[in-house]
Structure 1
Amino acid sequence: MTQFLTIAYNLSAIDNHSYFFDGAPDSIFCKTCGCCIDQSYLPRELKTPNKADIGATYDGRFIASLRFKEYIENLKLSVEFSLVNEKNQLFMMQPQKIIKYSAQQLENLCSTCGQYFDCVVPIPSFYQETGKPLEYGMFFTSIGFGSGKEKSPAIILGIETALEIKSAIKSLKLRGADISEVFMPND
């Protein structure tokens, strides 16, 4: 029977029922495939009907409340928060450290922007290189997953960081986060 080893955790979030790119200018998208080519874009006033502490837009951007932002900042993780709604104090959350990932399935390479339109089935390449589980930190994957403008990096947590955040979700009643294991066969 195959044994599995937890090597990290994936942070995902509840849908906040909004589109990050709603109303975005055409210039931030590839004219050929439609993928985002300007990752610095921020909406002026993102509206999110779901009031979770962390949510994800339909197009894959992580949006944090002021409460979640302050909690993560206290952990001293390398995460950038960009204001996307001043009135409701909502922030796009972007880990600054990158962890190597690849995809099992890459399809529809665009000759204009060089991106794959479809990128699915994440593979934690970092583990194949290091042979070690992640212990601490919050990371963006080195590639985005999904299709077209909905493609975005996943957020990966070190094991200790995930346990710390899981505990805070319960004690502080933080809403919207889902933390799941990333595992590899341990033969």
Structure 2
Amino acid sequence: MRPMILLPPGSVNSYQGGGFVLSPGQAHEMDRFIRPFDTERDTLYIPQDKWSQFFSEPWAMENLPREQSEVTGVSVVKKAIRFALPEAVFWDPEMLELLPGHRQMWFDDPAKFFVIIDVQPEYISLAEQDSWSWEMEGTEMGALVWDMTKQEFVFEQGTETLDEEHVALFARMEEAARVNLREGMIENVCEMLEIRLAYAVRRQGL
């Protein structure tokens, strides 16, 4: 079964059993997943224009009165969720430096995230949700894995063959992680993090 990307539209989504939102608002104003979010299968994609909002949301929710928080259905997820980010975010030092500290505000311990290369997922309209979806390919080329003992990211070869282009891309990513992620990983005592490449592919059906 291929991993699936569920794209959060405009002001975002929820999954069955509790609200998961990236922006405050009334429930009727929010788009929702068309099926329950499957933490074993699905990946939450955060578009580039939503990352600042994603980072700041936990603090905004903490400052809401209890009754308003209950109305909006906001709930921080207390389980590992895989999420994906645009490559533009990964190459942005200011954004990348924030990730180790902010990830603990949203998730207990997300074990991995995916950097979406080239074409980025687009919003799926309500009229199209029954006919196609976004999925990921290329996730098994390899990964940058945080080694807490060495306090550095180490590249681990995957099952897919790497060409020269992707070898160079992983080397560039490893340098970006060393410069912009390493210090935050140490300061926040992050035990694990796995960074993988992925390509977003449009598929027919769900």
* TM-score (norm. length: structure 1): 0.30
TM-score, normalized by length of structure 2? 0.28
Which has a greater percent of helix? 2
Tell me which protein shows more strand as a share of its residues: 1
